[in-house]
Amino acid sequence: MSVHTFKALLPMPPSVNHYYRRRGSHVYLSDEARIFRRDVVLKTIGKIPNKKRWFDKEQRLAMTVTLYPTNRRSFDIDNRLKALLDVLQEIGVYHNDNQIDDLRVVRGAVVKRELGFCVVEVKPC
């Protein structure tokens, strides 16, 4: 059983409103979502051993996400979670996002950067 904490500084996740696109009856990931997923994979290479998970399947997890936007424009912080939870599962932080029992999302300070970012911390409950 892992007792480690996973902590990472990642790109700002796209809003769920920009996550999927539709063409006719076909639903697919938007360009913004694909770029986000690619960037997260590149930022976390080497953090998680190949074909392993950071946390065991049986572990119950607590996650804190702090979002740092680039401006004061209003946004719903919960709209950013879908993309983030999915990509953390994809890269091997946990087996399934249903392992998360305690989820906290915080709006951080506005940052003077071209792109916003988020800080993610996942640990056992």
Cα separation, 46 vs 92, in Å, equals 11
pLDDT of residue 30: 92
Handedness of CA 105, 109, 114, 120 (dihedral sign): negative
pLDDT tens for the 125 residues of the chain, in order: 445 899 999 999 999 888 888 899 999 889 999 999 999 999 988 887 766 788 999 999 999 999 999 998 888 999 999 999 999 999 999 999 999 999 999 999 999 878 899 999 999 99
Domain 6-124 in this protein, CATH class:
alpha beta
Q: Is 5 helix (H, G, I), strand (E, B) or coil?
A: coil
Reference 123, options 92, 102, 96; nearest CA is 102
The tokens describing 61, both together, are 């997890």
pLDDT of residue 52: 77
pLDDT of residue 48: 76
Beta-carbon neighbour count of residue 88 at 10 Å? 23
